[in-house]
Amino acid sequence: MQATFLPTARQTNWLLIVGFLAVGEALYLRYLAIEYAPVSLACQGGLQTWLCTTFRTVIVLYNHGVFGWVALAAALLNLVRPSILLMSIAIAASGFGLVLHNTDLSGLAVALLILSLARPAPAKD
């Protein structure tokens, strides 16, 4: 019987850090920039700060569903060939997508990430 893809303790810690940082940054952007009226109006009025630049970038990415598509693509690739890099990308993009309302594709990506843990581990070279 072939072993399934299971991250080591160090890799799991890395994935936890990536997930918490992605969700934390998405929550920060959503509640302290996008939905906070004074900051949102200042940024829409043309204020040139790093927060407003990030605000505008996130709005453009959200409008095109980039977070969900990136999460889904990385999760599908991770399902085919499991790796920590692909899982990190999928977790980060899914975290942003779920917090910033790209939930359809991000939720599917999370389901595929869970399913990828049942896949056989890649063969050692």
Q: Are 109 and 71 in contact (CB under 8 A)?
A: yes
pTM of the model: 0.88
Predicted local distance difference test score (pLDDT) of residue 44: 92
Predicted local distance difference test score (pLDDT) of residue 1: 60
Query: What does DSSP assign to residue 102?
Result: -
Predicted local distance difference test score (pLDDT) of residue 118: 83
- Per-residue pLDDT of the chain in tens (125 residues, 90 and over written 9): 667 778 899 999 999 999 999 999 999 999 999 999 999 999 999 999 999 999 999 999 999 999 999 999 999 999 988 889 999 999 999 999 999 998 999 999 999 999 988 877 666 66
**H or E, element range at 49:** none
Q: Can you give the residue ranges of every domain in the chain?
A: 11-116
95/99 Cα distance (integer angstroms): 6
